[in-house]
A and B are shown apart, each in its own frame.
With several copies, the nearest count.
Chain A
């Protein structure tokens, strides 16, 4: 596991991710981008700060790539999650899944984002017009 395989502090280079998965045998490429929205829970969002337990987040994303790759052996998967301060409209995550056939590419891409949102130790703090809040903590 490289320390910077799946996490980045820079704008995500979607074209590079795509190029890293596409093979001549692929007929389908599914890309998912998570974007910073301008609203959440009725509030106007100005920006989001993403923070991670970095080595564990790298490890957990790696496990998910492996697990989803085993379920869809024809699919090649790449993923980058951005950390730091993001503005509305910027991508926090991009997942690229290429496959000979589209059903697997879509399914793998969907499973990737669903699992990443469940277990990877990354947190976001929203800055809204009402102040700053860590999302997910009910304290």
Chain B
């Protein structure tokens, strides 16, 4: 969730993380700006969340994942400026 200040800016990307519903309640915040190593995937961010929030420990696999409002597989590479969202099981309708 934090940048590694030892690395240069060129090796890093900025990503906006959105959390909704139960995930936002667990994280305490719905929007977070992340600085990540180039090569990070959506799944990597999910692992960071799991490490930080014990309530998520039971969830090895991420819930549905969206980048820039499109569903993607969790191993999708993140790019500079992406909007990443983890989508808990939906219950609309």
B58 touches A139 (CB 8 A): yes
Output the least CB separation between A86 and chain B (Å).
12
CA gap between A135 and B20 in the complex, in Å? 13
Is there an interface contact between B21 and A120, defined as CB atoms closer than 8 Å?
no
Residue B93, interface by CB 8 Å: yes
Inter-chain CA distance A119–B92, complex, in Å, is 9
For window 97-139 of A, CB contacts with B under 8 Å fall at 113, 116-125, 134-139
CB distance from A100 to the nearest CB of B (A): 14
Q: How far is the CB of A101 from chain B (nearest CB, A)?
A: 12
Q: Find A121's partner among B26, B55, B59, B85 (CB 8 Å cutoff).
A: B85
For window 41-62 of A, CB contacts with B under 8 Å fall at 50-53, 55-57, 59
Is the beta-carbon distance between A120 and B22 smaller than 8 angstroms? no
**Beta-carbon contact of A56 and B69 below 8 Å:** yes
1/0 contact trace for B54-93 toward A, CB 8 Å? 0110110000001001010000000000000101111111
How large, as a class, is the contact surface on chain B? 20 to 34
Expressed in whole angstroms, the Cα–Cα distance for A53 and B89 within the complex equals: 13
Instruction: Given A51-B21, A121-B66, A134-B21, answer yes or no on A139-B89 (Cβ-Cβ < 8 Å).
Output: no
Assess whether B10 is interfacial by the CB under 8 Å rule: no
Query: Chain A interface secondary structure, helix, strand, loop or mixed?
Result: mixed
- Contact across chains for B93 and A116 when beta carbons are under 8 A apart: yes
Query: Chain B residue with minimal CB distance to A118?
Result: B90
Residues from chain B with a CB closer than 8 A to the CB of A34 are 93
- B89 x A120 contact (CB < 8 A): no
Do A56 and B66 have beta carbons less than 8 Å apart? yes
Q: CA A53 – CA B67 in complex, angstroms?
A: 12
Knowing A56-B66, A134-B22, A139-B59, the reply to whether A119 touches B71 (Cβ < 8 A) is yes
A-B pairs with beta carbons under 8 Å apart, 13 shown: A50-B92, A51-B20, A53-B69, A56-B66, A117-B90, A121-B92, A122-B92, A123-B21, A134-B22, A134-B88, A137-B22, A139-B22, A139-B55
Show the binding face of A for B, using Cβ within 8 Å: 34, 50-53, 55-57, 59, 81, 92-93, 113, 116-125, 134-139
